[in-house]
Amino acid sequence: MTIEELQRKYGYNPPGNAEEAIDDGNSAGDSSSAAHEHSILDLGNSQSGYEDDDDDYAPPDPWKRTIRVDPVLFQADVPDIGKSQATDAREDDVVLWVSDNTNPPSDEVLNSYLKDIVELRKTHDQSVPPAGCESRDDEDALCALYRNNFDTEKAKESFPFPHINAPFRTVRPDALGFSEEESKIFEESLQMYGKDFALIGKMRMPYRKVGELIEYYYQWKLTPSYRVWREAHPQHVPVVQPHLSAAWHQQAAENGPNTFAPFSEPSTSEGPSTLSN
């Protein structure tokens, strides 16, 4: 067995084969580096291609809506809005005060005017505040001054002043009473619409004002026909308070359920109460 064979047997390369092994290693290293370089280039090309594709393609956004444009499917020709020919029968409110007045009276003018009004009220035997307690809350006098464009002399000439905050009665002084037929219509309407008097007037009795219907309702509750109607429509019976129900049934047993006896709750104490320790 030669030395070269022994070296090969125990893992030693012969001297002549070492150079060949080095050359083989260099060639293998060159090929591996070339392959690695090629993979890097491919990766770069793939990334650059992905960026190019990203510029052209954008995935749909579920939260974003696109505008649909189609004159046949989506767009419509809206005609011009014409003026309504219907008339409104409502009465506009009266303006009592506008704050943009360019010529407001001074405090001295107001105080002098209110003192003169106090003297006018005394002359006409009207109630006035006691001496030393003059108030600037005489709304009737202030409203008269405003309506006369802050002219104190014209405002005094319009005395006595109307009450500005007095209750306004919506029932006409010449309003006619309800006939038997109207009473029947009112009871039927009350069953249908409840105590919605505006709706009753609109649907069944348009010739009556709401104030007339309300006034008749409270007058009708004091008549025997209301008791008859209430017994026929128990769903409209008001709830009786528990502490008054016993006294109410006692009077109903004595005077009858359809009578209008004056109600008085009986006292639960027989004599003056005393406290003792």
Segment among 75-84, 124-133, 161-170, 224-233 with least mean pLDDT:
124-133
Q: Is residue 266's pLDDT more than 50?
A: no
Highest mean pLDDT among 87-96, 97-106, 197-206, 248-257: 197-206
Return the pLDDT at 272: 44
Average pLDDT over every residue of 142-154: 87
pTM of this prediction? 0.34
Query: What is the Cα–Cα distance from 232 to 190, expressed in whole angstroms?
Result: 13
Residue 276's pLDDT band (cuts 50, 70, 90): very low
Q: Is residue 42's pLDDT more than 60?
A: no
Highest mean pLDDT among 13-17, 115-119, 247-251: 115-119
